[in-house]
């Protein structure tokens, strides 16, 4: 594993550190780093199932940036360990990698077909609604299993305002800071995957979405 990630300028390094910081507070706190031919792809999983009975959808956040063209790596690390070093053009890396089951379920690199658009403001509104719904639904002194059940129910439900995608895609886009103002978000599909492309990054969800649920309406309640 390389000891650092070196970027062409300090802004790129700072942006990568910001993504890692946000990823550390979502999901399992791990980040996959894939670097080749001068491009670094950073991927995290704000939502992912834990076990066969967990109905939480797999929702990934992805950000790409320019990096040292000689860097070649594919490793999963603890996001909290990715920080700007004494060199403002570089991020330090931990000595050891971590395990993340979601990292073995990679979306395709090509074959994406247009599938419509969404408005960034709608995504932000639905994310805020979902965050409030989770907070209101979690019982006091709830254990981890109860919290995960509530989160799976809210974030895994199809949302009519999001073209039937799980509400969790809004949670990922909002929590990772991908929504920065007025923007039309492009939707594309490839096999079981759907990708939402924003200026600041991409959100990917692996389908099919949960069936047998009443889609969540903008003024409704979580299924």
In sequence order, what DSSP letters do the residues of 19-57 get, joined into one string? HHHHHHTSTTSEEEEEEETTEEEEEEEEE---STT----
Please give the pLDDT value at position 144: 82
Residue ranges in the chain modelled with pLDDT below 70: 1-2, 208-223
The residue extents of the domains of the chain are 4-103, 113-206
- Which residues sit opposite 194 in a β-bridge? 189, 205
Render pLDDT for 72-112 as a digit per residue (tens, 0 to 9).
999 999 999 888 888 889 998 888 899 999 999 889 989 99
Q: Which residues of 144-168 are buried (b: 16+ CB within 10 A; e: fewer)?
A: eeeebbbbbbbbbbbbebbbebbbb
Please give the pLDDT value at position 2: 66
Please give the pLDDT value at position 83: 83
Please give the pLDDT value at position 223: 33
Q: Which residues of 39-65 are buried (b: 16+ CB within 10 A; e: fewer)?
A: ebbbbbbbbbbeeeeeebbbbbbbbeb
Cα 30 from chain centroid? 11
**DSSP assignment letter at 80:** G
Please give the pLDDT value at position 208: 52
Show the CA angle centred on residue 190, arms to residues 167 and 105, nearest 5°: 75
């Amino acid at each position: 594993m390389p000891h650092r990630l070196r970027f062409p300028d300090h802004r790129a390094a700072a942006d990568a550190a910001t993504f890692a910081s946000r990823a550390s507070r979502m999901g399992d706190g791990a980040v996959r780093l894939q670097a080749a031919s001068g491009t670094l792809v950073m991927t995290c999983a704000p939502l992912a199932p834990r076990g066969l009975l967990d109905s939480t959808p797999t929702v990934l956040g992805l950000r790409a940036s320019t990096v040292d063209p000689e860097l070649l790596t594919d490793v999963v690390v603890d996001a909290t360990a990715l920080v700007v070093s004494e060199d403002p053009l570089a991020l330090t890396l931990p000595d050891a990698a971590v395990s993340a089951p979601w990292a073995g379920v990679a979306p395709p690199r090509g074959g994406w077909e247009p599938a419509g658009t969404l408005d960034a403001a709608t995504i932000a509104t639905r994310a805020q609604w979902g965050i409030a719904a989770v907070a209101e639904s979690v019982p006091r002194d709830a254990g981890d299993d109860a919290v995960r059940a509530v989160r799976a129910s809210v974030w895994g439900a199809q949302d009519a305002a999001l073209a039937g995608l799980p509400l969790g895609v809004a949670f990922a886009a909002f929590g990772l800071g991908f929504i920065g103002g007025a923007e039309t978000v492009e939707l594309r599909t490839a096999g079981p995957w759907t990708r939402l492309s924003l200026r600041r990054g991409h959100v990917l969800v692996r389908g099919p979405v949960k069936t047998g649920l009443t889609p969540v309406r903008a003024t409704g309640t979580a299924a």
